[in-house]
Structures are given as C-alpha cells and as structure tokens.
Structure 1
C-alpha cells in the first residue's frame, strides 16, 4: 500500500502537513525503512553539545525533539496495533507537550537516542509487515477522528521528515 492510496476519511486533516512530506508512491515498509535511514544519517550530524540547544525560550531542545519523535513512533504503533486488532475502537489523544518534561533527556547521549529510535522504528516496520491488507485498512477513532491503521504508519514517516526539516530550519543542523 502506498500513501497516494489513502482516502481523506482515514486520518484527521491536520496530518496532511506530514503526508505532504513523504513520497506518495512508496510502499509503507520501504518508506519506513528509507525514512529510518534518513533520520539515523541526520543524527550523525548532531554533536554532543547540540543536544541541549534550543533556538528560543520555551522551545524544545534537540534532545527533547528526538525523544518526542521516539515517543510518537511508539504511540502511533500502539494505535495501529489496536486499530488492527479492534476495529471501531475509540482511542484518546495524548498531550505531547506534557511528555517532554518527564522524558529525562538530560541524561541521554546521541548514541542512546540512535539506538532507541532504530529499535522502535524496526519494531514498527515488523509490525506493519505483519498486518494483512485487511488489517491495514481497519479504522477506528483516534482523538475523535476516523483513522486507519495504515494512515498512522505513513503519518509517522511524515512526522519524522517534518522534524528533520525543523532541525535544519530552526536548529541550524544541516
């Protein structure tokens, strides 16, 4: 399945901002793998001192953004699994801003972030590959919006791409 095959009733319109960032003609598994390699390669550009950098008062540090990406990966995978196993279920949203202060990123180094992202993304790739075509099409409600299992996988890749772009624009990591 490719992102171009998604229907607008499979996700909240808010996520168009992420879906526009990914190639629409790649199969989900290939997209997630290529996106993983792109992000891991990007992380190689981050120096240890960059992790505590924030481009403005009240904005997340580089480490907090990386942890946010890992957290969202896990949450989207959980949502996908739940939709595939229990179509029609209603799942609550989550407050990503509330997760950041509790994330203890000050005790992390870039290697630990790389290892964790790789493990979580690899787990997601295995998860999506385990789903049948029917399971990928299963829908429920996430934060009050109709959402499909497959849409969450594509959105996760677009979300990662979105933050790579923000790192380049706002954190001057290129």
Structure 2
C-alpha cells in the first residue's frame, strides 16, 4: 500500500490540509480508523444539534453530513476514473450549489448516517482492491493533477477535517485557542 508520505507530491496544494489532517501512514488503516472515529462521533451527536448551524449562513449538521457524502462520492469517482486509466480530465464541483440542491433538511439523520457508512464501506473495499500501479495512477480533476492514492487519503482527511469542525463549532468540545506569546529575546 502506498504511504501518506509518498502521495505528498501527487496531491494539489488545496487538498494537502486534508491529507495532513490524518496521522495514519497506510491508506487502508487511515480509512478504517477514520470510519470508526466518525461513526462514534455521529452516534454521540445530540438530536437537538442535528439541524443546528453555529452561525447564520453556515450549514446545519445534516447539510454538512450530506456534503461529506457528496464529496466522498466525487473523490472516489475520480479515483475510479484515474485507476481505470481514463485520461479525460474531470470537472470540479461547487459544494455550495450541491448543498442547496441536495435538500438535506428533508432527509432523516439516520438515513444520512447509514448512507455515509454504506458508501465508506464500499470505498474501503475499492481502495483496498487496488494494486500499486492503480494507486499511483494520476489524472486531472478541477484543473489539478492528483493520484488515486492521494484521493483515498483525501477521503479520510476530508472527514477528519469536518470532524474537527463539528467538535469545535457545533458541539463546543474544544476550548478556544490561547494566543501564543512570543518569548523575549535575550541580548
């Protein structure tokens, strides 16, 4: 399996924050542990928070979960496209337009959770089935070059990124960051 360090050069700058949001170096392990952590977090979200948005114009947790599902589908489709050596470049997607048109508020929370878990289970199987040649394959999406393995790490890291947002801004689990004080220089 290709390591997280090996994909660093095959991930566009805008996606490196997702790859850096996970600590596992092995893709299979990263996806498996990420799924387990996210499942646990989703189980512990209070019902009163499901339709909560922490500020005006921000997504509710339902809308965020729908976004996570949509993005995971896009990332994995890109990985499939590139792994199968299809050279056609793929377009980007406007996550805000998708969020509005997905109509997540009309969906049940349990259906959204079930959809994510089913999708992730299929994606774990997909990425595990790829050989090194397929994982190293690259293609162009949204005018950026990215590898199949890179997209797998992006899937895990994208979820990790949103888990941090959920904990901090929706559930208030993290204390506010304290300002860093500069040490006085000695003369």
Match of 1:82 in 2: 81
Structure 1 Cα separation of the partners of residues 121 and 137 of structure 2: 22
Query: Gapped runs of 5+ residues in structure 2?
Result: 174-187
Runs of 4+ in 1 over 6 A off after TM superposition: none
Match of 1:18 in 2: 18
Contact 1:21 1:158 in 2 (8 A): yes
Structure 2 Cα separation of the partners of residues 37 and 7 of structure 1: 24
Match of 1:4 in 2: 5
Structure 1 Cα separation of the partners of residues 40 and 107 of structure 2: 18
Structure 2 Cα separation of the partners of residues 4 and 24 of structure 1: 10
Deviation at 1:113, TM superposition (A): 1.9
Q: Deviations over 1:49-100 (max 9, x none)?
A: 2111111111101100011001111111100000011253311100011111
Contact 1:54 1:62 in 2 (8 A): yes
Taking structure 1 as the reference length, the TM-score comes to 0.93
Q: Deviations over 1:108-157 (max 9, x none)?
A: 23321221111000110111112111001001111111111110000110
User: Aligned pairs, how many?
Assistant: 172
Which protein shows a greater Rg? 2
**What SS does the corresponding residue of 1:58 show, helix, strand or coil?**
coil
Structure 2 Cα separation of the partners of residues 59 and 153 of structure 1: 27
Deviation at 1:24, TM superposition (A): 4.3
Contact 1:36 1:121 in 2 (8 A): yes
Contact 1:48 1:109 in 2 (8 A): no
Contact 2:75 2:151 in 1 (8 A): yes
Contact 2:51 2:61 in 1 (8 A): yes
**What SS does the corresponding residue of 2:139 show, helix, strand or coil?**
strand
Structure 1 Cα separation of the partners of residues 172 and 118 of structure 2: 23
Structure 1 Cα separation of the partners of residues 117 and 35 of structure 2: 7
Output the aligned Cα RMSD.
1.3
2:62 counterpart of 1:58: no
**What SS does the corresponding residue of 1:53 show, helix, strand or coil?**
coil
Match of 1:109 in 2: 108
2:118 counterpart of 1:119: yes
Structure 1 Cα separation of the partners of residues 114 and 24 of structure 2: 28
Contact 1:18 1:155 in 2 (8 A): yes
Match of 2:127 in 1: 128
Contact 2:7 2:147 in 1 (8 A): no
